[in-house]
A and B are shown apart, each in its own frame.
Chain A
Amino acid sequence: MSREDYEIVMGLEVHAELSTKTKIFCSCPTEFGGEPNTHCCPICMAMPGTLPVLNEKVVEYAIKAGIATNCEIAKNSKNDRKNYFYPDLPKAYQISQYDMPLCERGYVEIETEEGKKKIRLTRIHIEEDAGKLNHDEYGRGSLVDLNRAGVPLIEIVSEPDLRSSKEVESYLRKLKSILEYIEVSDCKMQEGSLRADVNVSVRKKGATEYGTRTEMKNMNSFRSIVRAIEYEADRQIDVIENGGKIEQETLRWDDVSGRTFPMRDKEDAQDYRYFPDPDLLAIKMSDEYVEEIRRNLPELPESRKKRYIEEIGLPEYDANLLTASKYLSNLFEGASAICNNPKAVSNWIMTDITKELNERELEPDQIPFTAEQLGNLVVLIDKGTISSSIAKKVLVELFENPKDPMKIVEEKGWIQISDEGAIKEVVLKVLENNQQSVADYKAGKDKALGFLVGQAMKETKGKANPGMLNKMFLEELNK
């Protein structure tokens, strides 16, 4: 049997840090970074006698996420304690939700090669993040940094509905985009504010039972998730093909070696001893409260997409790509508002900006320049201040050293030459130096015109207005 005879089955547990100003159970800031242990207080350090107080914003944000992913919102919910020992978990229990999550039974729709597909969500619940261990960074063994302890998270659990690494990637991208749109999480994967546990199993095509699954913890880049799934599926198929059995275990993906490794000993199989947290009251949500949140939910990608197609006249493919990320969509809308030329902006995003992002291995949220700067770039082209070939160079500059495009153009001396006298001077000089091409053109070789224009561009370092150049060459050649 070969790989083609197997089906990969995956489900994801996605953790997203919520972008509330303060932590889930105390008033410490949630800001990323900061000197170790400067964003903490007796409560999030679990000093004896301290008590948690639930940040209501966290509930609101989680409900937003639930509504945006078509979940049912619970009327009654509660917080539970998940007990285990680890130095980054100061209370020795994580306050999470066990059997009564805030949101249940939702779905997210993704595009696949076979069309749209609904990925079902089992639940979304709230919980607190743990701190961070610095291993040997300070030269004295492992040190605990509790800045992140108590930062609010939502955990979004999907059903095992995913069948390929591609589907996993589209699902994650879709989820990320939704969370960004509704402004509950900034989803910065590089800062760990969006991370996923990936459950992978394989089975023979046509089988009705799921295979034994393994879980890869804390994955935080699309690229490694795809690689890890491919590796792990192959590994499992190998094991089965060689007559072995898959062990249910937790794995760690190592990006450097491109392999997975078991994370815990089996003797450490955890019994979390969940029970309701007696320090916190039950959470009750009225219909009015949920409706209020539903009414105030920001515009979702689907609705923006519709607007782009119907009102701006963008092709569906473009509208899809633009709305896939809130950052791109906001960039598009912001820049369009400045230059009043949405089609041009869309083109820039679809082609050159996407190309730069790919080459630089950046996500849209890492785009260093502003919508205003992109809008002004399009204005410069539309006004004829620069040519589109110069504009491409300006864009590269915007990635390297973002500032107002006009400033870049001025500093680099890239302003387009549109002065008739200056252009004529160049045209005459080029004709003078390229008699052979002139002869070719006159002999009917139209291609020669292109060569001459190219020479003129070279002469002006690309700054000559190409339309005027063309026009003037034709005038001179046809004299």
Chain B
Amino acid sequence: MELYELTAHELMDKLNNKETTITDITKSYIDRINDKEKDVEAFVTLTTEQALEKAKSVQEKVEKGEVNSKYAGIPIGIKDNICTKGVKTTCASRMLENFVAPYDATVMNKINDENMIMLGKLNMDEFAMGASTEYSYFKKTKNPWDLNRVPGGSSGGSAAAVAANMVPWALGSDTGGSIRQPSSFCGVVGLKPTYGLVSRYGLVAFASSLDQIGPITKDVTDSALLLNLITGHDEKDTTSLDIEKKDYTKALVNDVKGLKIGLPKEYFGDGINPEVKQAILDVAKKYEEMGATVEECSMEVTDYALATYYIIACAEASSNLGRFDGIRYGYRTKEYKNLKDIYINSRSEGFGEEVKRRIMLGTYVLSSGYYDAYYKKAQKVRTVVKNEFDRLFSKYDLLLTPTSPTVSFNIGTRSNNPLEMYLADICTVSVNIGGLPGMSVPCAVDSQGMPIGFQLIGNHFGEETMLRAAYTYEQNTNFKANKPTFKK
């Protein structure tokens, strides 16, 4: 077995037992990247040279006893909307093609403090707006299970790189499903934490009230390990919650007896692919077999969630993306005679179609005369969604749904139909609206050999219950027998 095939916790064990070295691990991943990146195209920027140098120096520090962290020397990939000092942060946009942040995101400080090794910045839909990573300005990332298909999005580069074993794990960001949906498409584990659990400082904002950074990993244990590293209150982000830090690996217990799981019927309606539906129902059955109670429930407001999500997310985005004006940094048009030209041309040329579409949508719903009908109403529905979740979580410990109504689709089939693309988020957006934690866990492959993931939704700060259920499922099934085939 090659080093790159291992999970992060397996690498940690090997390092701990002195069965391998940090440099060997890093080299193994670099070789793998050299082998697979041309097919998968998961990276926007590779930092393999810096990684190798850092690996050597961390290895030395470990040998001298100066560094004593289990995370030390473990490679990682970072979604390209998380600011990294000295390395380009492009958000897969022409607007930030050459942007180098002068500071590190809070999560990067945590990663660097532990002496982890960043292998590169991962591709995504431009400014995290999309569900297939096709809206990247630079390249289209392929799904490692079938290179003709999308990896999902917007954290498609992160999910594909993990699935292709080019990184042991990665950070993604999730505004409406951007960690969970690509994880489901690529057969890996993706976790979106409770809003406020992870600092957003240094995450280039898409929709501030919905964005969260989270781990994309090969298994549930790694998910808990990486979550441990990135959580915690941050003075630089007032929306990050000041609560006691938990050790999520303690939740990795192979037991779901007594857990009450709700199955909201609205997630199993017409739009869902029958094979996906069957796979999720099989998961439900498995949970029952393992000792949990599974019960159908209803969350009627689900029908309004997608519209509510797109109004709130676009409204916030239209304001958040105002700073890309061609004045201080980022792309500036060459064609201008006055200030107005700089704004209009820089933004017209620097942003892609989908980003412009969402800025226009957001600008519209915040405009005077439309604010009450759209934005304000959406905020009201948001409260209703939260109340609905509260009601459900007074009865259930977890909710079980599909992560996506379909498996991965072919490249180019939806990118010209925004509405159809938006439907890819239908199972995931409510979680962000409610600020709840959600997780996608791989459970099956369909008749075409494409992975299917199920989604667990937890109550606020219910990460431990979610991880426990996911871990138990993983321990009692054998999804790992399926491997990405790089089908051409």
Contacts and interface: CB of A to CB of B under 8 A. Distances in A.
B357 interface: no
B103 A42 contact: yes
Contact of B238 (A48, A53, A83, A85): A53
Interface stretch (A230-238, A274-282, A300-308): A274-282
B426 interface: no
B363 interface: yes
A279 B209 CA distance: 7
B203 A49 contact: yes
Contact of A278 (B99, B208, B323): B208
A91 interface: yes
Contact of A273 (B102, B202, B209, B319): B319
Nearest to B343: A85
B426 to A, nearest CB: 23
A46 B323 CA distance: 7
Interface in B295-320: 315-316, 318-319
A280 B208 CA distance: 10
B83 A48 contact: yes
Contact of B202 (A49, A93, A275, A280): A49
B239 interface: yes
Interface string B321-361: 01111011100000000010001000000000000000000
Given A51-B238, A279-B239, A85 B325 contact: yes
Interface in A321-335: none
B101 A279 contact: no
Contacts of A278: 207-209, 239, 316
Given A83-B319, A281-B238, A47 B101 contact: yes
A144 interface: yes
Interface in A32-84: 42, 45-54, 81, 83
B204 interface: yes
A402 interface: no
A92 B339 contact: no
A370 B204 CA distance: 51
A271 interface: yes
A87 interface: yes
A275 B319 contact: yes
Interface of B: 81-83, 89, 91, 96, 99, 101-103, 105, 200-205, 207-209, 235-239, 315-316, 318-319, 322-325, 327-329, 339, 343, 363, 366-368, 371, 375
A322 to B, nearest CB: 44
Nearest to B315: A275
Contacts, number: 100
A90 interface: yes
Contacts of B371: 273, 275
B66 to A, nearest CB: 30
Given A144-B327, A279-B208, A48 B99 contact: yes
Task: Say whether chain B's binding surface is mostly helix, strand, loop, or mixed.
Answer: loop
A35 B319 CA distance: 30
27 contacts: A42-B101, A45-B328, A48-B83, A48-B96, A48-B101, A48-B204, A48-B323, A49-B82, A49-B101, A49-B105, A49-B201, A50-B103, A50-B201, A51-B201, A51-B236, A53-B237, A53-B238, A54-B238, A83-B366, A85-B343, A92-B325, A93-B319, A273-B319, A274-B366, A275-B315, A275-B371, A281-B238
Contacts of B99: 48
Contacts of B368: 271, 273
A20 B319 CA distance: 28
Given A85-B343, A144-B327, A278-B209, A273 B238 contact: no
Given A275-B315, A281-B238, 6 more contacts: A45-B328, A46-B328, A48-B324, A49-B89, A273-B363, A273-B368
Contacts of B319: 81, 83, 92-93, 273, 275
